[in-house]
């Protein structure tokens, strides 16, 4: 059983938007931190499989004596997946801007006793981040929360911090330039949320809360951003309607 599935079974159930609430932008504070693992497992299609794929791909690039970064590490689920597949001698660095969610990560990782050395850093990517001696970087549903004005700089900083032949693994929600497809994909995504127990009120209120802070790009926009930032090769490794896993190599 994967770490993500184990976590899903033990965390609190997400009811953040179950009651009527005043419109406010989505926040990664204590209320979200307490239910985060359940929230993503019920809101992100194939979440456990995507975690496994990201860890496997990162392990293909991780080199002993280097750092592997998880930007937007949240509660540490990806670091746990990495710990089971990455070879020895690799140091993990988890970065997140939410102190409440990082505290959850610290407790979870301490309980599991990772085999790899690791460090957790509280940092807002809008303020810049220097990566050192990195062989792989993972961003799972993180870049979409970086304001578009800053995304080129963030990805360029990642490229500069990566060693030659290093990779960036990126998972994002997408929008498409074709409005018919866009509506279809979103409709089927909300169907998934309904199947996973979310009510119409929960779906609508969370959509409104995310509207101003989660800004998805087209697939082509993500690819062009990566190639313009210093990456030489780009490929899609996962796609489910408006969710996409991408990998770029320096």
pLDDT tens-place values along the chain, 250 residues long: 334 443 444 578 867 666 677 767 777 778 878 888 888 999 999 999 999 999 999 999 999 999 999 999 999 999 999 999 999 999 999 999 999 999 999 999 999 989 999 999 999 999 988 999 999 999 999 999 999 999 999 999 999 999 999 999 999 999 999 999 999 999 999 999 999 999 998 888 899 988 889 999 999 999 999 999 999 999 999 999 999 999 999 9
Nearest to 86 by CA among 103, 70, 106: 70
pLDDT of res. 17: 64
Give the closest residue to 34 by CA, choosing from 66, 63, 78, 74. Answer: 74
pLDDT of residue 24: 73
| pLDDT of amino acid 6 | 39
pLDDT score of 12? 86
Distance CA 92, CA 43 (A): 26
Query: Hey, how many other C-beta atoms are within 10 angstroms of the C-beta on 103?
Result: 15
Cα 226 to Cα 27, 105, 193, 216, 218: the distances in Å are: 27, 28, 30, 15, 13
Give pLDDT, residue 27: 78
Question: Any idea which residue has 């990495």 for tokens?
Answer: 82
CB atoms near residue 136 (< 10 Å): 27
The string of DSSP letters for 17-45 reads TSS---------SHHHHTTHHHHHHHHST
| CATH of range 54-176+209-249; options 3.80.10.10, 3.90.1210.10, 3.40.50.150, 3.20.20.140 | 3.40.50.150
Q: Which pLDDT score, from 0 to 100, does residue 28 have?
A: 78
């Amino acid at each position: 059983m994967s770490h993500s599935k184990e976590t899903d079974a033990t965390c609190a159930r997400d009811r953040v938007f179950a009651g009527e609430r005043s419109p406010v932008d989505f926040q990664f504070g204590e209320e979200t931190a307490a239910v985060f693992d359940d929230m993503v497992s019920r809101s992100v299609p194939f979440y456990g499989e995507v975690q496994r794929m990201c860890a496997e791909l990162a392990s293909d690039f991780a080199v002993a004596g280097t750092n592997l970064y998880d930007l937007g590490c949240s509660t540490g689920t990806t670091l746990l997946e990495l710990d089971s597949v990455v070879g020895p001698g690799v140091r993990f660095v988890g970065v997140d801007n939410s102190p409440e969610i990082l505290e959850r990560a610290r407790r979870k990782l301490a309980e599991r006793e990772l085999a790899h050395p690791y460090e957790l850093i509280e940092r807002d990517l809008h303020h810049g981040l220097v990566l050192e001696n990195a062989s792989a970087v993972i961003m799972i549903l993180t870049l979409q929360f970086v304001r578009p004005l800053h995304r080129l700089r963030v990805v360029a900083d990642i490229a500069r911090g990566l060693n030659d032949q290093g990779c960036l693994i990126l998972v994002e929600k997408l929008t498409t330039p074709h409005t018919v497809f866009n509506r279809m994909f979103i409709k089927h995504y909300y169907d998934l949320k309904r199947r996973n127990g979310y009510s119409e009120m929960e779906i609508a209120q969370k959509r409104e809360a995310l509207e101003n802070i989660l800004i998805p790009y087209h697939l082509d926009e993500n690819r062009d951003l990566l190639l313009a930032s210093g990456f030489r090769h780009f490929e899609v490794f996962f796609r489910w309607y408006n969710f996409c896993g991408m990998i770029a190599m320096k």
